[in-house]
């Protein structure tokens, strides 16, 4: 019959094993596909897995008082995994919070490994294969002085874990980062240490209490999992911000040149595959922009760039691509539209810019733009180096617009091959 005291252990074990599997898969996904430096995800997955095995073994131990073979295996697995759970927890804290001070992790792992080797084989100095009534709640194996030393070592290791977290908390308070998270982990780890100490004392017959480690272990596992979920959200936001910085020009909020080149390449590929019947490319800049900077200051020049960008975006469609090409020069890629439609849109932009009053009294001024347009349709499918030819003809048309009085639209057509 399953003891009532053991039911929470198997529940906590199942949750820990699932969490370990989930974060192991997540680690390999993020590491292999995105090359994220998230070693602590792997450490936590090992922590959760070992904790789950520990709790499952404890569950079997409590319910195996009438079967020496099962109890022998369960008791030894419990002993081996108990200390490794604590060391892996310590390893996670150090890795996640980038704690640089020496924490003797290698020594901790070495000590745990030595105890694990000793625990594997029945012996009178550590654990003999003999039933011994540990408490009124469960029966364990007969133990020797090395087992008592192991219990003391486990208690010291838990205390060391709390000490390191306390130091991390002090450091995070100084830099004012993740203070709440560290405090939460510190409190749950202290609680875990208390329950671990009580179970260790019960195991060596100092006190007589039901198993309590599952509470502390579950709380720590749950808190770390929750913290890593928040960390995933942080990674997602950072990636979005990075993508936004790469995608948009910081001043004008038009697309960046690098993003335009991606869209331009995709559009040419679609055109070559007959998925787009025609493309038009327009390059334009602000007439006498340097004189605006010289006469009214660079802040006025920046406002002029931003306003021109805002006006332009009102007259282009979602399928078009408007980007800042460099300095005061912009580029628009139109997909699938007739030349008359494109010219009409450019006229609207040109007129709106020329009518707009820039600056504040008494330093107000007007500005104009010159536009160079080129385009291709199905007759140009077999043009060689179409990408550079379009850019070259658009630039040529812009130069022509500048030389014919500015504030105008010039068109340069590609000849059919």
Q: In the prediction, which pLDDT does 382 show?
A: 67
- 194 and 337 share one domain: no
Same domain, 262 and 184: no
pLDDT interval class at 416 (50, 70, 90):
low
Rounded-to-integer distance, Cα 316 and Cα 312, Å = 7
Domain endpoint, select from 210, 242, 274: 242
Beta strands 409-411; 369-376: pairing state? parallel
* Domain end (from 182, 209, 242): 242
Is 248 a domain residue? no
pLDDT > 70? residue 151 = yes
250 part of a folded domain = no
Look at residue 401 in the predicted model and tell me its pLDDT.
94
Q: What is the CATH number of the domain that holds 204?
A: 1.20.1070
5: confidence class by pLDDT, cuts 50, 70, 90: confident
- The tens digit of pLDDT for each residue in 232-278 reads 888 778 777 767 777 889 899 999 998 999 899 999 988 888 887 88
Count of domains observed in the chain: 2
Domain final residue, candidates 193, 218, 242? 242
What would the pLDDT profile of 157-215 be if each residue is shown by its tens digit? 888 989 999 999 998 898 888 889 999 999 999 998 898 888 878 877 788 888 888 88
CATH code for the domain of 337: 3.30.70.270
Backbone angles phi, psi at 295, to 5 degrees: -85, -40
- Name which of 262, 282, 365, 366 is nearest 329 in CA terms: 282
34 pLDDT tier (thresholds 50, 70, 90): low
Instruction: Quote the domain boundaries for residue 42.
Output: 4-242
Q: State the pLDDT at residue 138.
A: 83
269 in the same domain as 234: no
- Asked whether residue 274 falls in the same domain as residue 147, the answer is no
In a domain, 416, yes or no: no
Instruction: Specify whether 63 is located in the same domain as 158.
Output: yes
Residues 10 and 88 in one domain: yes
């Amino acid at each position: 019959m399953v003891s009532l005291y053991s039911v929470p252990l198997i529940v906590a074990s199942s949750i820990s094993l699932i969490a370990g599997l989930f974060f192991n898969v997540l680690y390999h996904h993020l590491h292999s596909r995105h090359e994220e430096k998230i070693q602590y995800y792997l450490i936590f997955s090992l922590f959760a897995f070992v904790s789950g095995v520990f709790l499952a073994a404890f569950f079997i131990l409590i319910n195996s008082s009438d079967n020496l073979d099962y109890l022998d295996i369960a008791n030894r697995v419990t002993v081996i995994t108990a200390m490794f759970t604590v060391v892996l927890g310590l390893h996670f804290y150090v890795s996640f919070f980038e704690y640089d001070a020496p924490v003797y992790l290698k020594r901790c792992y070495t000590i745990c490994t030595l105890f694990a080797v000793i625990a594997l084989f029945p012996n009178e100095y550590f654990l003999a294969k003999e039933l011994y009534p540990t408490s009124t709640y469960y029966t364990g194996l007969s133990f020797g002085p090395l087992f008592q030393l192991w219990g003391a070592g486990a208690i010291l290791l838990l205390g060391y874990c709390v000490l390191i977290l306390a130091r991390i908390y002090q450091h995070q308070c100084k830099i004012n980062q993740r203070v709440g998270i560290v405090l939460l982990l510190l409190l749950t780890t202290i609680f875990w240490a208390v329950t671990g100490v009580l179970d260790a004392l019960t195991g060596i017959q100092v006190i007589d209490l039901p198993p309590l480690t599952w509470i502390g272990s579950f709380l720590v596992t749950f808190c770390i999992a929750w913290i890593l979920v928040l960390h995933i959200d942080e990674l997602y936001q950072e990636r979005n911000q990075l993508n936004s910085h790469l995608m948009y020009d910081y001043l004008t909020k038009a697309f960046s040149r690098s993003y335009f080149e991606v869209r331009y390449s995709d559009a040419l590929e679609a055109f070559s595959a007959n998925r787009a019947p025609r493309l038009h490319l327009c390059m334009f800049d602000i007439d006498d922009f340097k004189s605006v900077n010289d006469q009214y200051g660079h802040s006025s020049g920046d406002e002029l760039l931003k306003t021109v960008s805002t006006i332009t975006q009102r007259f282009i469609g979602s399928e078009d691509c408007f980007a800042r090409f460099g300095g005061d020069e912009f580029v628009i890629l139109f997909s699938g539209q007739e030349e008359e439609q494109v010219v009409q849109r450019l006229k609207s932009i040109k007129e709106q810019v020329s009518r707009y009053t820039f600056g504040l009294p008494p330093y107000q001024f007007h500005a104009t733009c010159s536009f160079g347009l080129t385009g291709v349709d199905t007759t140009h499918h077999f043009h060689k180096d179409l990408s550079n030819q379009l850019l070259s003809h658009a630039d040529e048309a812009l130069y022509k617009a500048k030389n014919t009085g500015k504030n105008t639209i010039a068109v340069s057509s590609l000849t059919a091959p």
